[in-house]
Amino acid sequence: MLIGIDFDNTLAGYDHVFVAAAKARGWLPAASLGGKREIRDTLRGLADGERKWMELQGEVYGLRMPEAEMIDGAARFLARCRTEGFRVVVVSHKTEFGHFDPTRTRLHDAARTWMTAKGFFDPAGFAVAEAFFEPTREGKIARIGALGCGVFIDDLEEVFLDPGFPAACRRLHLAGAAAGLGHGPFASYPGWAEIHDAVFPAA
Ligand SMILES: [Mg+2]
């Protein structure tokens, strides 16, 4: 069984990083506790809001990548895959550079460095077989198909809704505890604990 997993906001969590980066730029009131979605909506209400939002993303996924934290429950899931002998690959849609990033940080390298530091590629750690960073969503979906993933886990419904998504691959959507569950040609779960139990049902 090959299990494919998305990277941003499925394995790597950035909500707190978005808050810190937006406050540092004075784009968010100091008292705000908002997560990624609230910040996006706040910025889009400002002058040049769409550009601000893209700049912030470039900084968070690049220079500030070391501040990301694993999404709750992902570590337990990966550890279980290892003990069960399931191969795990990470397949991510990620551009090579962030938009409007003056530092020209290489986003794929930043993500790999973070993964290495967390033990993703360590056979005694999470033992992830490979990570693929595809510059386009079509590339990501083609990769999932070419690898023959039996299961794919993603926080974005759009990935599962793409007509090119491989029909034979089981689609598990990580909705997140704060959001409502999604509805579509996929199973939607509030968190990793529920995804763990769906993939590894109690005997
Ligand atoms: Mg994602």
Same-domain pairing of 86 and 58: no
Same-domain pairing of 141 and 152: yes
Per-residue pLDDT, 179: 76
CA of 156 to the centre of ligand 1 (A): 6
CA of 32 to the centre of ligand 1 (A): 24
CA of 83 to the centre of ligand 1 (A): 25
Same-domain pairing of 108 and 46: no
Bridge-based pairing state of the strands 130-134 and 87-93: parallel
Same-domain pairing of 125 and 169: yes
CA of 89 to the centre of ligand 1 (A): 14
Same-domain pairing of 96 and 51: no
Per-residue pLDDT, 29: 84
Reported pTM: 0.95
Domain housing 76: 2-13+68-199
Same-domain pairing of 42 and 98: no
Same-domain pairing of 112 and 27: no
CA of 8 to the centre of ligand 1 (A): 4
Q: Among residues 177, 94, 183, which one has the least CA distance to residue 195?
A: 177
CA of 29 to the centre of ligand 1 (A): 26
Per-residue pLDDT, 198: 98
Contact in structure between 20 and 59 (CB atoms under 8 Å) = no
Same-domain pairing of 114 and 176: yes
Quote the CA–CA distance of 52 and 27 in Å, as a whole number: 9
Same-domain pairing of 23 and 47: yes
CA of 203 to the centre of ligand 1 (A): 31
Two structure tokens written together for 20: 């810190």
Concatenating the DSSP letter of every residue in the chain gives -EEEE--BTTTEE-HHHHHHHHHHTT-S-TT----HHHHHHHHHTSTTHHHHHHHHHHHHHTTTGGG-EEPTTHHHHHHHHHHHT-EEEEEEE--SB-TT-TT--BHHHHHHHHHHHTTTT-TTTT---EEEEESSHHHHHHHHHHHT-SEEEES-HHHHHSTTS-TTSEEEEE--SSSPPP-BSBEEESSHHHHHHHHS---
CA of 11 to the centre of ligand 1 (A): 8
Same-domain pairing of 103 and 162: yes
CA of 92 to the centre of ligand 1 (A): 7
Of 23, 47, 66, the position where a domain reaches its end is 66
CA of 157 to the centre of ligand 1 (A): 9
Could you list the pLDDT tens digit for every one of the 203 residues in the chain? Answer: 999 999 999 999 999 999 999 999 999 888 887 777 788 889 989 999 999 999 999 999 999 999 999 999 999 999 999 999 999 999 999 999 999 999 999 999 999 999 999 999 999 999 999 999 999 999 999 999 999 999 999 999 999 999 999 999 999 999 987 778 999 999 999 999 999 999 999 97
Number of domains in the chain: 2
CA of 90 to the centre of ligand 1 (A): 11
Same-domain pairing of 72 and 60: no
Same-domain pairing of 169 and 101: yes
